[in-house]
Structure 1
Amino acid sequence: MGNTKIVTIRFKNIISPTDIEAFRGAVVNALKDKDILFHNHNLTDKGFRYSYPLIQYKRINRRAAIFCLEEGTESIGKFFLDSDLTLNLNGKIHQFEVESVKAHKHLIQIWNSNIRYTIRKWLALNQENYEFFDTLESVAEKSAFLENILKANILSFAKGLNIFFEKQVECKITRLSEPRITLYKNVKMTIFDAEFLTNVSIPDYAGLGKGVSVGYGVTVRKKEKENNK
C-alpha cells in the first residue's frame, strides 16, 4: 500500500474533449526544460517513458486540468516557473487562469469492502483483444473479459506508483455503456463508460487503461447520492 502524493490543478478555461492533446502540447511547449514527466517522450533518443504517466491532462467539468502524482507533483512547479500561462492551443493564443490547486495524499491499498467508481472514455481494447472480444456472444462473457482487463489496468496503475498488493484485487463491472469509436493516435479505437466495484482505493481523476495522459480512462469514486446533471 502507499500514501501517494497528488496535486490537482484546475483552470477556469473551458476546453473541448478534442483539445486535451493540444493542451498537453501547449504546456510542454511552455517549458524551458522538456521534463519527460510532462510528455513521456525522451527527446534525445526519440524513445518513450513506458511507466504510468505521473502528469495527466484532463477535462474536468468542461475545464482544463492537470493531475499529478508523486514525482509529478514536484515537476509541475517547473511549468509555473517557466510560463505566464499564455498558451497556444491549435494556433490560437489563450490566457489560462488557475481556478484551484488541491494537494493531498491518497492511501492506495486493498480494503475489506468494495468501493464503487465510474470510469469515462475507457480505452480497454487494443486491436488484438478487440477481435477476440467481438467473437464473444454473451453479455456475461464480455463483462468477464473486460473485468480482467480492468483488473490488469488497476494493477498496472499501482505498479507504476511502486505499489504492490499482497491480497487479490477484486473487480466487478456493474454498468457498461455501448461501445463508441474515438480517434487515438490517429487510429480508430473503441471506448466505454462504465461503473465498477473494486476493493482498491483509487484517487479521483486517476486514469486507467490506455491514453490516461490525455484524458482517457478517468476514474472517479461514485458518491452515494450523485448529482448527474
Structure 2
Amino acid sequence: MKLNICRLELLNIKMKPRDSEKIRGYLGHKYEELDILHNHKNNKFIYRYPKVQYKIINNKPIILGINDGANIITNIGINDDMLIIGDKSINTFEKKISINNNEYGISADYIKYEFLSPWVALNQKNIDIYRNCSDMEKEEMLKKILIGNIISMSKGLNYTVSDEVKCWVNLKKVDVNIKNIKHTGFMGEFKVNFSIPDYLGLGKNVSKGFGTIKKCR
C-alpha cells in the first residue's frame, strides 16, 4: 500500500518540543472547519489515527499530512506565511514542502527504526503492571504494545494487516511531561517486519509529535 504524505518543514525558526501543541492550536483555530487539523467535532474529541501531525525535531517545526491530510498541509505550506503563537507573530516564509508516495505495510524483511521523540506506550491501566514486571517481562510487554500500536495505526489508515507482525526492541525509559503531568516514555530503536514512512508517529499523543520514528540508515 502507498501513503501520500506531505512534509512541511519551517526552516527559519527554532522551537521547543512543547511548541508543537501551540502550532496545532493556532492552525486548528484558524481552520476550525477542518477537523482533520485538530480532531475535534462539536467540542468532542475524535478518536482516530491523526492524519495531520505536528512535530518539533531538533528544534525544527515539521507538519505532516497523510493521505487526505496531505493536500491540506500542502495548501497551508503554499498559502500561509505566518504563525501566531501566544502574543508573537512568526514569519514562516522559508519552508520546504516534500510530497511523496511512501510504502506502507507488511515487509518480507525486518526494518530498523529509531524514535526521534519519546514513545508514550503506557497508560494508567498498564503502568503499574509494567513497573512490577521483570526486565524480560517488560521487554515482552513493550513489544506487544508496539505491535498493537502498528495494528491500530493501520486500521486508521485503512490497511488490513494480513500477516503476523514481529518485532525486536532496544529501548530506554525517559520521563515525559504532557500538560504538566508526568508520563513514562521510551527512546531507542526497534526492528519490525513492517514498512512505515519516516516521521509517522506511534503510541499516544501522536498529533503533538510524540512517538515519531525514522528508518535507521
TM-score between both structures, scaled by the size of structure 2: 0.93
Residue of 176, 181, 187 corresponding to 2:171: 176
Partner of 2:22: 22
Give the corresponding residue for 2:40: 41
Residues 213/106 of structure 1: CA separation in 2 closer, same or farther (3 Å cut): same
Instruction: Using the aligned pairs only, state the percent identity.
Output: 33
In the other structure, the counterpart of 1:79 is 76
Contact 1:109/1:165 (<8 A) preserved = yes
Instruction: Provide the C-alpha distance between the structure 1 equivalents of 2:80 and 2:49, rounded to a whole number of angstroms.
Output: 28
Question: Is the CA contact 1:55–1:66 (under 8 Å) kept in the aligned structure 2?
Answer: yes
CA contact (8 A) 2:119 2:202 kept: yes
Per-residue CA deviation, residues 82-137 of structure 1 (Å, 9 max, x unaligned), is x642211132211113421111111212112100001231000011100100010x
Deviation at 1:80, TM superposition (A): 4.9
Which 10-residue stretch deviates more, 111-120 or 143-152?
Answer: 111-120
For residues 201-216 of structure 1, the aligned pairs below 5 Å read: 201-216=195-210
Q: Match of 1:122, as an amino acid?
A: W
Match of 1:226 in 2: none
Structure 1 counterpart of 2:212, from 187, 200, 218: 218
| Paired position in structure 2 for 1:96 | 92
Task: Please tell me the root mean square deviation across aligned C-alpha atoms, in Å.
Answer: 1.6
1:49 Cα deviation from its structure 2 partner: 1.6
Residue 110 in structure 1 maps to residue 110 in structure 2: no
Give the C-alpha shift of residue 186 in structure 1.
Answer: 4.1
- Which residue number corresponds to residue 188 of structure 1? 182
Q: How far 1:200 moved relative to its partner?
A: 0.4
- Following superposition, the deviation at residue 157 of structure 1 comes to 1.0
The size of the alignment, in residue pairs, is 215
Alignment-derived partner of residue 70 in structure 1:
67
Q: Say whether the 8 Å CA contact 1:30–1:87 is kept in structure 2.
A: no
Residue of structure 2 in register with 1:3 after alignment: 2
* Structure 1 position 78, deviation (Å): 5.1
SS in 2 for 1:128: coil
DSSP 3-state at the match of 1:132:
helix
For structure 1, list consecutive stretches of 5 or more residues without a partner in the other structure.
224-229
8 Å Cα contact 1:30-1:79 kept in structure 2: no
Cα distance in structure 2, aligned partners of 1:63 and 1:34: 27
SS for the counterpart of 1:176 is: strand
Aligned residues of 2:114 and 2:216 also touching (Cα < 8 A): yes
Q: How does 1:46-61 map to 2 (within 5 A)?
A: 46-61=43-58
